[in-house]
Amino acid sequence: MVWFAASMIATLIALLVTLRATARSRFDLQAEVLALRHQLGVLQRQAPHRPRLRLVDRLLWVLLSRVWADWRRAVQIVTLDTVVRWHRRAFALAWRWKSRPRRPGRPGVSDDLRALIRQMHAANPLWGAPRIHGELQKLGLAIAQSTVAKYLAGLRAPQKPPSQTWRTFLTNHLAQSASYDFFTVPTATFRVLFVFIVLSHARRRVLHVNVTAHPTAAWTAQQFREAFPWDHPPRFLLRDRDSIYGSAVRRTVQGMGLEEVLTAPRAPWQNPFAERLIGSLRRECLDLVIIWNERSLRRHLSRYLAYYDGFRTHLGLAKDAPTSRPMQPPCAGAIVEVPHLGGLHHHYERRAA
């Protein structure tokens, strides 16, 4: 009877174990098999005195403790506290990696933008960081001027600003003032041509330009009549003390209701807007071509001034052109390089494919 009772108890226990195994999920069974096989493998590969656990063994038990609810029942070769300690150590390492110090400073500039800066600098060797930065702004590319300067080599030092007194005066009267001046251009046949320009200070727009080989006071007076044909000319005209502006010029200017402001002797910096325009004309156009005659000079001036008025950016105009250029967002299309003056200068715009 005792043997029969023991047999029935063993059979009942086996049946209960079978039913329990059937009720358990497949994931629990697979996790238990993995845990037991792993511990068996650790015991088989180590010396008989004490098993040594590797990092991968610890990580496996940390993972099992996170995804398997009954992991404690399968642990045999280490204690439960050891697995919990491993988990805490792994959490500390993960949090330390997430909290690692990032690289300080501004975000890096993309390779495409660096290549575009180099392309603009190579195609326009006379441009500095402000001019290139102005073109990038018109293309809707957000980048600091200092960052552009970092990628350019050999930038020229900025020129000394004009006198503060004259700067204040001109700033307060930009909309009511203009300036005019002569400059000379040699030809291929060693003749000297004279260029007369009138510049409005408000938007740095060239109001009038003409060329002659024999400037006279009468010819100069006629240029003022052609430069200001409308009813509301500027109030002030800034000029130097060149002797070519004789009595005929002064009478014409006074008859038009204009007031002349003369610079000090030998002080071209007091007429900064006209001098800057003349300098730009020389550096960016006339010094790079050979002028044959008046017709050739007029053609080059016309082409450059069309670029100057419509596309060349100016620091004094918040890096805009005299005829304001709209900013194009990146969604407007791909960036296209448009040449001017046979490729001496370029402007950049976005065009849809």
pLDDT of residue 157: 47
Looking at this protein, which amino acid is placed at residue 199? Answer: L
Residue owning tokens 């009877």 = 1
Give the DSSP H/E element, type plus range, for residue 205.
strand 205-212
**33-47, 213-227, 314-328: range with lowest mean pLDDT:** 33-47
**CA dist., res. 306 & res. 159, Å (int):** 26
Which residue range is the domain that position 11 belongs to?
2-98
Q: Do 56 and 182 belong together in one domain? A: no
Question: CA 182, CA 277: separation in Å to the nearest integer?
Answer: 11
In a domain, 169, yes or no: yes
Q: Tell me whether residue 35 is in a domain.
A: yes
**Higher model confidence: residue 275 or residue 243?**
275
pLDDT above 60: residue 2: no
Cα–Cα distance measured from residue 268 to residue 275, given in angstroms and rounded to the nearest whole number:
7
pLDDT at 45: 60
**Residue 278: predicted pLDDT:** 94
Nearest residue to 245 via CA among 229, 260, 225: 260
The helix, strand and coil proportions of the chain, stated in percent and rounded to the nearest 5, come to 50, 15, 35
Least confident range from 214-223, 241-250, 271-280, 344-353: namely 241-250
The full DSSP string for 77-144 is: SS-HHHHHHHHHHHHHHHHHHHTPPPPPSSPPPPHHHHHHHHHHHHH-TT--HHHHHHHHHHTT----
Does residue 231 sit within a domain? yes
Residues 184 and 36 in one domain: no
SS3 of 272-337: the string is HHHHHHHHHHHHHCHHHCCCCCHHHHHHHHHHHHHHHHHCCCEHHHCCECCCCCCCCCHHHCEEEE
Coil, strand or helix at 169: helix
Question: Which CATH number characterizes residue 245's domain?
Answer: 3.30.420.10
The domain total for the chain is 2
Condensed to tens digits (0 to 9), the pLDDT of residues 284-307 reads: 999 999 999 999 999 999 999 999
Radius of gyration for the chain, computed over Cα atoms and rounded to the nearest angstrom: 41
200: β partners: 178, 205
Q: Are 169 and 51 in the same domain?
A: no
Model confidence at 172, pLDDT cuts 50, 70, 90, reads confident
Query: Residue 212 and residue 219: Cα distance in Å, rounded?
Result: 9
CA distance between the termini of the chain = 96
Reported as a pLDDT band with limits 50, 70 and 90, residue 330 is confident
User: What average pLDDT does range 317-340 have in this prediction?
Assistant: 89
Q: What is the pLDDT of residues 68-117, one digit of tens each?
A: 566 566 665 556 566 566 667 777 777 777 777 666 666 677 888 888 88
pLDDT confidence of residue 4: 47
More confident residue, 348 or 162: 348
Q: And the tokens for 94? A: 């993960």
Q: How far is CA 70 from the centre of its chain?
A: 57
Q: Which of 78, 98, 118 is the last residue of a domain?
A: 98
Q: Are residues 316 and 192 both part of a single domain?
A: yes
Q: How confident is the model at residue 260 (pLDDT cuts 50, 70, 90)?
A: confident
Identify the domain boundary among 42, 72, 98: 98
- For residue 203, pLDDT over 90 is answered with no
For residues 37 and 186, membership in a common domain is answered with no
Question: Each residue of 141-151: pLDDT tens digit?
Answer: 888 888 888 88
Q: What is the residue-averaged pLDDT of the chain?
A: 78
Q: Is residue 218 domain-shared with residue 300, that is, in the same domain? A: yes
* Residues 262 and 172 grouped into a single domain: yes
Cβ–Cβ contacts within 10 Å for residue 270, how many? 19
- Alpha-carbon 121 to chain mean position: 14
* DSSP H or E stretch at residue 4: helix 2-23
Question: Between 130 and 75, whose confidence is greater?
Answer: 130
Same domain, 91 and 192: no
Judge whether 345 lies within some domain. no
- Predicted confidence at residue 3, as pLDDT, reads 47
Tell whether 190 and 264 lie within a shared domain.
Answer: yes
Whether residue 264 lies inside any domain: the answer is yes
Query: Does residue 278 sit within a domain?
Result: yes
Same domain, 88 and 168: no
Q: Residue 49 in contact with residue 60, Cβ under 8 Å?
A: no
What crossing angle do the helices spanning 80-98 and 55-67 adopt, rounded to 10°?
100
Are 91 and 175 contained in the same domain?
A: no
Q: Does 75 fall in a domain?
A: yes
Among residues 217, 220, 215, 264, which one has the least CA distance to residue 238? Answer: 264
Give the residue, 225 or 67, on which the prediction is more confident.
Answer: 225
| Mean pLDDT comparison of 138-147, 160-169, 181-190, 234-243, highest-scoring range | 181-190
Burial pattern 166-184, b for ≥16 Cβ within 10 A else e, equals beebbeebbeebbbbbbbe
**What is the number of residues in the chain?**
353
Higher local confidence (pLDDT), 76 or 158? 76
pLDDT of 281 above 90: yes
Residue 34: pLDDT over 60: yes
pLDDT of 206 above 60: yes
| Same domain, yes or no: 46 and 185 | no
Asked if residue 282 has pLDDT above 90, the reply is yes
For 24-28, 155-159, 231-235, which range has the lowest pLDDT when averaged over its residues?
155-159
Considering only 203-207, 232-236, 251-255, 343-347, which range has the smallest mean pLDDT? 232-236
pLDDT at 182 over 70: yes
The answer as to whether 349 is a domain residue is no
pLDDT at 231: 62
Complete edge-to-edge strand list for the sheet that includes strand 192-200: 205-212, 192-200, 177-186, 236-239, 259-262
Per cent of the chain over pLDDT 90 is 21
* Pairing, β 192-200 against β 205-212: antiparallel
